[in-house]
Structure formats: C-alpha cells, structure tokens
Amino acid sequence: MIITSFFAALGQIGDARFRRVLLLGVALTIALLIAATSGLVWLIGSLTADSVSVPWVGTITWLDDIVSWGSFFLFFGLSIFLMMPVASAITSMFLDEVAQAVEDRHYPHLPPANSVPIGDAVVDTLNFMGVLIGANLLALILYVFFAPLTPFIFWGLNGFLLGREYFTLAAMRRVGRVHAKELRRAHTGTIWLAGTLMAIPLSIPLINLLIPIIGAATFTHLFHKITEAQSPDQTSSYR
C-alpha cells in the first residue's frame, strides 16, 4: 500500500500544480530564513556595546562586529539544518492544491472536497512549524549522546511528524478533522512507516525540497487506499 502510493505520487511529479507549490514553499522558506537571520544580527548588534575597555589591552571598538558576524554564521548554520523542517511546514499551507491535483487525476469520481479555511491553514502551518523546529532542535541533544544512531533518530522523528501532519491534511479534506485524527490513530504504524520513507531522502540536498510535495501526494493516495480497505460500514462513516 505504501510503495504503491509512493510511486503513484512520484509519477505525477511533473504536474504544474506540484511545481507551483514547490516554488512557493521554497521561496517563502528562503525569505523567512533571511529575514530571521537579518533580524537576529540587528538585535544582537543593537544590544552590544560599541566599545569595551579591557585592562592592559585598552578600548576594543570592534567587539560588536565580531558578535554580529558570529551570530550570523551561527544562525546561518542552523538555517541549513532547519531548512527542511521549515520548508515542510510552510509548504503544508499549500498542500490542499497537491491533494486536489492527485484526486483530479486518480480519483475523478469523488465529489468536491472540503477546502480548509485559510485561517485554519495558517494556524496549522505555524503549529506544525513550531513542533518540527522544536523537535529537531531537541534531537540535537540525542545526536550528541547517540552519534552512531543519528540518521535513524532523524528519520524516525521526522517520519513520525511528517506522516502525522500530511495524513491529517489529506484526510481532513474528506472526513473532517475529528475523523481524520481517528483514522490516523487507527493506522499509526502504517502512517509512521510511510512518513519514514519520506524522511530518508531529507538527508539529500535539493532532493529533500521535493519531499513535502511527494509526501502530500503519497499520503493522499494512502488515505484513499486505507478508506477503501475499510469494511462497508466503516467506510461509510468516513465518506
């Protein structure tokens, strides 16, 4: 089920709507990281004294420059690390378009889906971004103590988070938020495994920028396969 969904999503990667969401997500991510970096450098620079007197050395006038540039490179490094989580979160705001493209091609018999209000989409995106960034920053501690397991921790953590979010986004268009969570809980193992499949290529530069799009398409297929596999009584409660 997972492999079939993945390759069906991969076969549609050239769709114009997929490209539009990809470009929007990447552009907004880069803009956000540049703005955050510039803001941090300005804040630290404004809080740092122009000069400091050091005994036996004299007055140092370039300390604020060192602190500002040091904070810039620190945040730039974190930005590279956080690029994928932030891109995934921002792109999730536009994934309704990806899901619709999948359904138009593969499930044309379905009635129109319930679009998520833009306000709810923004709130969901901010929540998802906060969870992704927070979890990945906390995971840095585990990477230090369990260095040989770093790839598996990264894949497992982000696989769980991506699967949880993307399946919910795909399902709630058809069955609402409450039933989407019920389905997600009932199929946690399958969703986590599919999310891990999405998380493994996150380690590959450039390829990882496609993962939010492929993930959204994959989980749209997975949602429909799961509901089709339900018994008739169960399926009717989700349609």
Residue 216, domain member (yes or no): yes
- What confidence score (pLDDT) does residue 238 get? 47
Task: Report how far residue 205's alpha carbon sits from residue 144's, in angstroms, rounded to the nearest whole number.
Answer: 22
Residue 39, domain member (yes or no): no
- What confidence score (pLDDT) does residue 81 get? 60
Task: Report how far residue 196's alpha carbon sits from residue 202's, in angstroms, rounded to the nearest whole number.
Answer: 10
Task: Report how far residue 85's alpha carbon sits from residue 79's, in angstroms, rounded to the nearest whole number.
Answer: 10
pLDDT digits (tens, 9 = 90+) for 64-84: 556 555 655 665 565 556 666
What the block records as the tokens of 142 is 């585990």
Residue 46, domain member (yes or no): no
Residue 63, domain member (yes or no): no
Task: Report how far residue 100's alpha carbon sits from residue 107's, in angstroms, rounded to the nearest whole number.
Answer: 9
Residue 54, domain member (yes or no): no
Residue 68, domain member (yes or no): no
pLDDT digits (tens, 9 = 90+) for 166-209: 898 889 888 888 898 899 999 999 999 999 988 888 767 667 77
End-to-end CA distance of the chain: 20
Residue 104, domain member (yes or no): yes
Q: For 45-49, 172-176, 227-231, which range has the lowest pLDDT when averaged over its residues?
A: 45-49
Average pLDDT over residues 19-45: 73
Residue 49, domain member (yes or no): no
Average pLDDT over residues 148-169: 89
Task: Report how far residue 122's alpha carbon sits from residue 125's, in angstroms, rounded to the nearest whole number.
Answer: 5
What is the total count of domains within the chain? 1
pTM to 2 decimals? 0.73
Structural domain boundaries enclosing 143: 2-15+84-238
